[in-house]
Structure 1
């Protein structure tokens, strides 16, 4: 669980019971949590009934958000509306099925519920329908007054305020209260991510190019010769030879991460938010690379809170920050911190909030109907066509021997060799959990790993190691590394050592060296403490650090 949640009163639940959470507000005073049993609960100041519980005033204990309970909510998006004082919010909840619910302020129709009445604030979540009725939404990005929605097919829909053409339609001006598909350059293209500033927007294409939506202002310009009256999506210039893998927006600036781990930035820079070593009232017109001294960056982060900083985490698990930091400090270039995750950065910021802009998994490959990838995806766990079933914890997973032999040399020897049980139509698996084995087998069909916990990733890693599926081991290793904390470092090391996962053991030891005393304080047993202490001391002695 994010460190930010530990700043609030005891929920009465174990961490493992909380699947996801949203913390928001001008002082980080509002909390929404989703439990593993699919209950959705909230408490906080509840200004303008932003918690979605349907009551006015402060909510001092956890209260159910009835319209979301049982909907399998997987994540949230919080739109922060530019407003002096406490600020207003519009909230979106995304279910595993890709259904979106919204509530909160709707002055410009940014909730997509068909109205932009300035007297109407939606106090309980309502399902967004219209043109999204039969679509699976994988991401929502809200700039505060306008919203972009990304579907599993790579299409973009927009709604809300539109004076600068930030919705990407052919004309600007009037608000759009219903979800409406964005065309132009996005027609037929596959979009993998969307991001919104307060009054402009961006879409990341499958090709790694960025399209700008809205007024051709200098902080998101796509061509110096483009007319200000051209509102439809346009290619962003300045990154022609760069493949972008992630985009995030602050209030009036954008950060982009390339596939080779470099960060580019453009937009307003008065508080050093571009990280380019300067501060200026003048907008930066073209993408500028941030210092490469950090090494290869794995993920970047920013929020729409004007008081917030920017952050990045590298492949070596080092966390850097820049921009508007706490206590009025401004860093105009990235500085190394002692944080172990991006969650911790924004938990210690003001206001302390959960930072992540949630996105359901979307296939990197083109989801063209009838493609080989799509047919394989549909064939997984299909009893009518399968020729073998694995029985794990009493439940069956239906698969195809041919697919397994392509994905694993162990399966190849098993099914094409003379093993005694190779012809049996049912294979019993006793040493692994159903959930972990299901993820493993599905990967052989899709090359994807669904969102899983660190503990779950360790189990899948062990299976992938046994069946010699190295690319799945790499995927799990990345999940484990990104989720490593001072609380779980000992347990992860113990399991990695048990599996003989040398790379993971090495990573855990480095992690412990940097955060020595914090890790020691969080060990639960003397056995795990002594084992890691001995290994770290041996390592340190060999490297002559002490």
Structure 2
């Protein structure tokens, strides 16, 4: 937990009781904390209702933020100038709540003017799972689990990327060059926007004064996404923005920078403007993470593969034009020491599975090795098709495979095994999980059910947990009975209760989809019994 919380002695809580926290304000005077029990509390000067408690003026003792309690908040994003802040809370479910300053509709609520309490963003995002929010000066970007970008707020320079300069108070999907592409992260300058594609390319739009977008155009603004040039052959892994500049980290650990540089933010040893992406000092070695904020008084920072932290730009009122080795051990320490101090959390959901891994990483090498007949030593045959694997890797991840390959199995010397109880697609996804540690969250629910069965048979508990999360997030009346049946079979009590609660809340829809299937009939009867017992009690 951030050292900033020591100012309040953690409010009497143990570190283990605080799940996450946000500290912000002119002098770090505002605090929001999320407890492990899902309570959300706040205190501070509360400028323009920025704490979301609905109370005007200073909040001197911890007060519940009623609308956020019980919402499983995973992280926060905020922006602010002076005492005017707008804030976003991202939930585990993918819902987003916003509150605070809203003069240009940047909260995405369909209104303007201050919003005193956290309010869920609806419109186009109501049925979407948001995995990241990025804030500009007066505009906002939201990235969904499908890799789509939605924008809202001020648009005087085309920063919403919608082809016009009309402002929008509700989320609007950004199309144009982004159509048909998957975006893995977004970032905002004060009045510009950037999106990182799964291909490792970057798109940018909005104000292009001083060439800060890195585009070939000499126009002062671009109202639709354009491809950033000068990075041909480079795969970008992460992007972050300052107020008028961008840093991009490549998958081989190099930092590229461009834009305004009046305080040395670009780390290239000068304060000159750079209109095209250029590599900054490589004395840091291979870099694994980068950081920046939109506060003019904050430094830029990077962590290399040896976990050394470097800073440059505006460092405690000094201009540092090249990366300087520091004694910090994390970005949180960097920004605790900055002025004003803040907690540094550029939130992005852990459920985002489409992001690229560092080139040459262990996981990427495993990914390339999966189902490669040239390097593997065993094959499963499912529905007449072969899936090639490494026996040693499977034995590490499953005791069932360990007994199969290293035990007294009479055919352990065989090179192939026919699998008859599972579909090819489910078994392929199951084996691929050993190599990637990921599941495609967009696979059909019927396939997830089969994958759930495979994971249970082979006793891969972490995959079971992932399947349960996907089944919960995508549960529908059409598959609720089948999910409930699996949950009963596997003793998954939490998933059973989730199915029951879901069907009680959607009972009319369940009845409309009722048929003669015995499983569904028994399930609906159980829903009725539970509902009747609750009324009696």
Q: Please indicate, yes or no, whether the TM-score normalized by the shorter chain is above 0.5.
A: yes
Relative to structure 1, the CA distance from residue 445 to residue 129 in structure 2 (aligned partners, 3 Å threshold; closer, same or farther) is farther
> SS in structure 2 opposite 1:11?
helix
2:234 aligned to which of 237, 242, 254? 242
**In the TM superposition, what is the alpha-carbon distance from 1:266 to its structure 2 partner?**
1.0
Deviant stretches of 4+, over 6 Å: 402-406
Gaps of 5+ in 2: 357-366, 368-387, 410-429, 440-457, 464-537
1:338-372 C-alpha deviation (Å, 9 max, x unpaired): 11111101011111101221010211279xxxxxx
| Contact 2:48–2:83 (8 Å) recurs in 1 | no
Q: Distance in 1 between matches of 2:302 and 2:96?
A: 29
Over alpha carbons, which structure has the higher Rg? 2
Match of 2:255 in 1: 263
| Contact 2:73–2:89 (8 Å) recurs in 1 | yes
Relative to structure 1, the CA distance from residue 39 to residue 344 in structure 2 (aligned partners, 3 Å threshold; closer, same or farther) is same
Q: Distance in 2 between matches of 1:182 and 1:315?
A: 35
**In the TM superposition, what is the alpha-carbon distance from 1:221 to its structure 2 partner?**
3.5
1:415 aligned to which of 404, 410, 422? 404
1:304 aligned to which of 280, 294, 300? 294
**In the TM superposition, what is the alpha-carbon distance from 1:10 to its structure 2 partner?**
3.6
**In the TM superposition, what is the alpha-carbon distance from 1:287 to its structure 2 partner?**
1.2
**In the TM superposition, what is the alpha-carbon distance from 1:222 to its structure 2 partner?**
4.8
> SS in structure 2 opposite 1:48?
helix
| Contact 1:89–1:144 (8 Å) recurs in 2 | no
2:168 aligned to which of 171, 176, 197? 176
| Contact 2:200–2:237 (8 Å) recurs in 1 | yes
Relative to structure 1, the CA distance from residue 404 to residue 249 in structure 2 (aligned partners, 3 Å threshold; closer, same or farther) is same
1:386-424 C-alpha deviation (Å, 9 max, x unpaired): xxxxxxxxxxxxxxxx9997952244331355469xxxx
Q: TM-score, normalised by structure 1?
A: 0.67
**In the TM superposition, what is the alpha-carbon distance from 1:144 to its structure 2 partner?**
2.5
1:96 aligned to which of 69, 92, 98? 92
Match of 2:339 in 1: 350
Gaps of 5+ in 1: 367-372, 374-401, 421-439, 450-466, 473-546
Relative to structure 1, the CA distance from residue 133 to residue 260 in structure 2 (aligned partners, 3 Å threshold; closer, same or farther) is same
Relative to structure 1, the CA distance from residue 365 to residue 60 in structure 2 (aligned partners, 3 Å threshold; closer, same or farther) is closer
**In the TM superposition, what is the alpha-carbon distance from 1:227 to its structure 2 partner?**
4.8
Match of 1:128 in 2: 121
**In the TM superposition, what is the alpha-carbon distance from 1:182 to its structure 2 partner?**
0.1
| Contact 2:212–2:260 (8 Å) recurs in 1 | no
**In the TM superposition, what is the alpha-carbon distance from 1:215 to its structure 2 partner?**
3.6
1:28-50 C-alpha deviation (Å, 9 max, x unpaired): 11110111000001111111110
Output aligned runs, 1:329-368, within 5 Å: 329-361=318-350, 362-364=352-354
Aligned residues: 393
Output aligned runs, 1:135-534, within 5 Å: 135-172=128-165, 174-225=166-217, 227-228=219-220, 230-280=222-272, 283-326=273-316, 328-361=317-350, 362-364=352-354, 407-410=393-396, 411=398, 412-416=401-405, 418=407, 444=434, 447-448=437-438
Q: Give the CA RMSD over aligned residues.
A: 3.0
**In the TM superposition, what is the alpha-carbon distance from 1:223 to its structure 2 partner?**
3.8
Q: TM-score, normalised by structure 2?
A: 0.69
Q: Distance in 1 between matches of 2:61 and 2:153?
A: 33
Q: Distance in 2 between matches of 1:358 and 1:212?
A: 21
| Contact 1:212–1:220 (8 Å) recurs in 2 | no
| Contact 1:325–1:331 (8 Å) recurs in 2 | yes
